[in-house]
Homo-oligomer: A and B are copies of this chain.
Amino acid sequence: MTDSKTTSTKNIKVYKDLMGENTKWAAKTRALLQEHNVRMLNIIGSPGCGKTSLLEAMVDKLGCNINFAVLEGDVETTNDAVRLARLNIPVFQLLTGGSCHLEAKLVHYALQDLQLDQLDMVIVENVGNLVCPAEFDVGELAKIAVLSVTEGEDKPLKYPLLFTEASAVILSKTDLLPHLTFDVDACLEAISRVNNQIPIFQVSSTTDTGMDEIVNWIKQYGAEE
């Protein structure tokens, strides 16, 4: 690769090579999306934090105003894509086959198969992982961090990169709060210590709490660019 930077240790050089390659594909994707006037969001959170359930709950609210498709990232299985396809939205499953995050190249290839001229937005559901996906730009306009209240209030401090990179945080599964010792204020404080510029949405897809607010934010975001 022509843009690799040599450093004193081989391992560090290697990671720069890989990220350089990823950045190139992310840039190609941005150009492709801009050409078709499509915005892309990248949803990131731990396994089981409720990303797919949030998307399921958003479909009706978002779908009446915005034509969107979903790219479902997973290590294995097509379970999540099957769940969303039932709701009659275009959904494509991206399987990493072991890798812990989506890379820009795979996302770019998938986008080429979409009818971009018929879309306003693409929503990427990244592989369930609070660490690695935040490091890999896939060409999105914004990252959305999802943290469920079952995970503990200190996670933004323990995994700060995602919360630094994100343009919004969804605090999910708030319907479970009465059964947990989770301290919402401590969590909000932890998020603000990492990033005090971002909106935080307290949401339950089960009880439809806070869903209108996040959907309105997404709509507004989509229209801003």
Contacts and interface: CB of A to CB of B under 8 A. Distances in A.
Chain A interface extent, by class: 35 or more
A90 interface: no
Contacts of A79: 154, 157-158
Contact of A159 (B11, B21, B47): B47
Contacts of A129: 100, 129-132
Interface stretch (A61-69, A70-78, A117-125, A216-224): A70-78
Contacts of A159: 47, 75-76, 128
Interface in A136-150: 148, 150
B48 A148 contact: yes
28 contacts: A10-B17, A11-B21, A14-B17, A14-B18, A46-B48, A47-B152, A47-B158, A48-B152, A75-B160, A76-B157, A79-B158, A98-B135, A100-B129, A100-B131, A100-B132, A127-B131, A128-B130, A128-B131, A128-B158, A129-B129, A129-B130, A129-B132, A132-B132, A150-B150, A150-B173, A150-B176, A176-B179, A179-B179
A161 interface: yes
A128 B100 CA distance: 13
A60 interface: no
A149 B104 CA distance: 32
Contacts of A127: 131
Contacts of A158: 47, 74-77, 79, 128
Contact of A161 (B14, B21, B98, B180): B98
Contacts of A161: 75, 98
A208 interface: no
Contacts of A10: 1, 17
Contacts of A150: 48, 148, 150, 173, 176
The listed residue with most B CB atoms (<10 A of its CB), out of A21, A131, A176, is A131
